[in-house]
Amino acid sequence: MRKQERYKLLIEHFTQNFPDPETELAYSNPYELILAVVLSAQCTDKRVNMVTPALFEAFPTPEHLAAATPEEIFPIIKSISYPNNKAKHLAGLGRMLVEQFNSEVPSTVEELVKLPGVGRKTANVIVSVIWNQPAMAVDTHVFRVSKRLGLVSKTAKTPLEVEKELVANLPQELIAKAHHWLILHGRYICIARRPKCEECPLTHFCAFFQKHYPNIPDDPENKVGGIA
């Protein structure tokens, strides 16, 4: 099957069954989202959402965070992965927002990656979720699902290479949505150790399924429907 046909079938399925995907991180403004996304690195959204209410209450504005020390932040986020480093990142992020960005979360990837704890993936999440920009954040889920479905070439070995291929092949107006589609599909269906192919509605065009289960007849009509 040609790559463009896979994209066509992917888009058809999710626009029909999951037209308005959203991040699972809880937030009410760009400042809260950037804190949550920084904390979510190598940590589950569920765990982050358990921690952020207390964090947002303790440091409700960039000014409050800028005045905090890592030692004051650490007890609140200690159940998150790598709490020492993330406490330092958040303290530095607060100071930089106040000192260099007038307490506003930047709206470009180029500015966002200057902030402590914010890499390209985090920056892409922010501009995609907040400003609906055509940015594709490639985490482990997006990387895995893109490769398994056959949306990107075998030579795409890094998150940036996968990002570039996805952005080049998806309609610009759907890139922000596709980011969520791929993440959520990877989180709940196309999981790392044993993908739930028996539940997946995408096996009729999935390169992984066709390679590993070539003799199993596929009928997408009988599937549960994945994350939809």
Q: State how far the Cα of 18 lies from the Cα of 56, in Å rounded to an integer.
A: 30
The sign of the torsion formed by the CA atoms of 25, 114, 158, 19 equals: positive
Greatest C-alpha distance within the chain: 62
For 3-9, which contacts have Cβ atoms below 8 Å and span 24 or more sequence positions? 3/150, 3/151, 3/169, 4/169, 5/205, 6/149, 6/150, 6/151, 6/205, 6/207, 7/151, 7/169, 7/170, 9/202, 9/204, 9/205
Name the residues annotated as catalytic.
121, 139
